[in-house]
């Protein structure tokens, strides 16, 4: 806005009108205040409290802050191999689930986006699981993975294969949870890709077809480059979502067998609530928080650069 271009009387007029309306009712800050109250009390305050608690040996069983610990909690945290292994499980889950969830959702969207008939059916099938509560997903998949009686074992039996111990083996359990997560949440990315694909004007493909470009060339040379922003968005949202994994693990394996699926949030839950060490768990929370925030801001920077490039 260039105020200098506006003649002086108009500026004065606008100012007096603002002053006038302020007298007449609430404006600006007044409109934001209700939101701000919730924001400060339930997002900012917990963040500040986490910083404070992490410097004390605050306990769930006792009121008050407890004894000043300085950076001892962080020192202990970084020496705790259980903390590192739970962080690693979260990172491993993210590293495995993100590419699968991005690629599978893209392929599913690619398979149906040009379809004029029956698209509702595919949207229903792929997106429906996303709206189910985690507890429902856990109950259904615990039953599918049930040794012997389960559908998973039944399906493998059908093709003559022996079934692994889906949730009972330390080397497989985390991948079984990835499988469940892909089924559960792929629909969200699918819808994002579907919208992105349908944004690309049909004429671009028709022109390419005229020039004799094959389907695969069209995907490589037109679809992927024009979908750049959607790919970034889906990938980053997926990384952040995957880093926050908790529900499926807690409800299906409680971090077992032998801690092989205990993820960062479950570690925070265990230390904060089972052991009642609020101060120590707050330190762990902040480490996870910083990791997620860094990725979020890196994404913002990336989007800014992409927008400048376009």
Give me the phi and psi of 135, to 5 degrees please.
-65, -35
- Sign (positive or negative) of CA dihedral 39, 41, 46, 47: positive
The residues, any chain, with a CB within 8 Å of residue 192's CB and separated by 6 or more, are: 105, 230, 233, 234
Residue 101 and residue 240: Cα distance in Å, rounded? 13
By CB under 8 A, tell whether 87 contacts other proteins. no
By CB under 8 A, tell whether 174 contacts other proteins. no
By CB under 8 A, tell whether 122 contacts other proteins. yes
Task: Name the token pair of 152.
Answer: 């998973």
Find the binding residues for other proteins in span 34-73 (CB under 8 A). 34-36, 38-39, 41-47, 49-50, 53, 58, 60, 63
Distance of closest approach, residue 187 Cβ to other proteins, in angstroms:
8
Distances (CA, A) of 51 to 7, 44, 46, 72, 198: 51, 11, 9, 13, 45
Q: Closer to other proteins at the Cβ: 174 or 280? A: 280
Q: Please, which residues bridge with residue 59 across strands?
A: 277
Distance of closest approach, residue 2 Cβ to other proteins, in angstroms:
14
Q: What radius of gyration do the chain's Cα atoms show?
A: 26
Binding other proteins (rule: CB under 8 A), the pick from 91, 208, 222, 292 is 292
By CB under 8 A, tell whether 176 contacts other proteins. no
The residues, any chain, with a CB within 8 Å of residue 151's CB and separated by 6 or more, are: 143, 144
By CB under 8 A, tell whether 254 contacts other proteins. no
Distances (CA, A) of 91 to 179, 230, 309: 16, 23, 31
By CB under 8 A, tell whether 6 contacts other proteins. no
Binding other proteins (rule: CB under 8 A), the pick from 171, 199, 301, 306 is 199
Residue 219 and residue 213: Cα distance in Å, rounded? 10
By CB under 8 A, tell whether 222 contacts other proteins. no
- Give the three-class secondary structure for 68: strand
By CB under 8 A, tell whether 158 contacts other proteins. yes
By CB under 8 A, tell whether 75 contacts other proteins. no
Alpha carbon of residue 308 to chain centroid: 26
Q: Closer to other proteins at the Cβ: 31 or 171? A: 31
Query: Given the rule CB under 8 A, which of 68-76, 78-86, 89-97, 266-274 is the region that contacts other proteins?
Result: 266-274
By CB under 8 A, tell whether 127 contacts other proteins. yes
Find the binding residues for other proteins in span 10-29 (CB under 8 A). 17-18, 21, 24-29
Distance of closest approach, residue 125 Cβ to other proteins, in angstroms:
4
Number of residues located near other proteins, criterion CB under 8 A:
101
Q: Please, which residues bridge with residue 68 across strands?
A: 56
Distance of closest approach, residue 208 Cβ to other proteins, in angstroms:
13
Q: Closer to other proteins at the Cβ: 171 or 305? A: 305
Query: Given the rule CB under 8 A, which of 4-12, 71-79, 88-96, 109-117 is the region that contacts other proteins?
Result: 109-117
């Amino acid at each position: 806005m260039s105020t200098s271009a506006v003649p002086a009387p108009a500026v004065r007029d606008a100012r007096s009108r603002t002053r006038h309306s302020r007298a007449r009712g609430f404006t600006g800050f007044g409109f934001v205040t209700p939101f701000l109250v919730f924001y400060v009390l339930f997002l900012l305050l917990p963040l500040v409290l986490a910083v404070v608690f992490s410097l004390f040996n605050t306990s769930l069983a006792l009121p008050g802050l407890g004894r000043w610990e300085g950076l001892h909690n962080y020192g202990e945290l970084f020496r705790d191999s259980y903390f590192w292994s739970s962080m690693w499980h979260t990172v491993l889950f993210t590293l495995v689930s993100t590419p699968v969830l991005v690629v599978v959702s893209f392929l599913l969207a690619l398979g149906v986006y040009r379809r004029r008939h029956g698209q509702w059916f595919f949207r229903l099938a792929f997106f429906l699981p996303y709206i189910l509560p985690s507890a429902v997903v856990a109950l259904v998949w615990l039953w599918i993975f049930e040794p012997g009686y389960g559908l998973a074992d039944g399906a493998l039996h059908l093709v003559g294969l022996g079934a692994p111990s889906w949730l009972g083996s330390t080397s497989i359990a985390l991948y079984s949870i990835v499988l469940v997560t892909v089924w559960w949440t792929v629909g969200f990315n699918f819808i994002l890709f579907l919208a992105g694909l349908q944004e690309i004007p049909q004429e671009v493909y028709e022109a390419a077809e005229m020039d004799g470009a094959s389907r695969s060339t069209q995907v490589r040379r037109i679809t992927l480059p024009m979908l750049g922003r959607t790919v970034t968005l889906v990938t980053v949202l997926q990384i952040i979502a995957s880093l926050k994994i908790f529900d499926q693990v807690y409800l299906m394996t409680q971090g077992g067998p032998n801690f092989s699926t205990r993820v960062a949030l479950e570690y925070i839950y265990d230390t904060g609530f089972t052991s009642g060490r609020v101060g120590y768990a707050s330190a762990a929370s902040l480490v996870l928080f910083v990791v997620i925030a860094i990725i979020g801001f890196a994404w913002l920077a990336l989007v800014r650069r992409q927008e400048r490039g376009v």
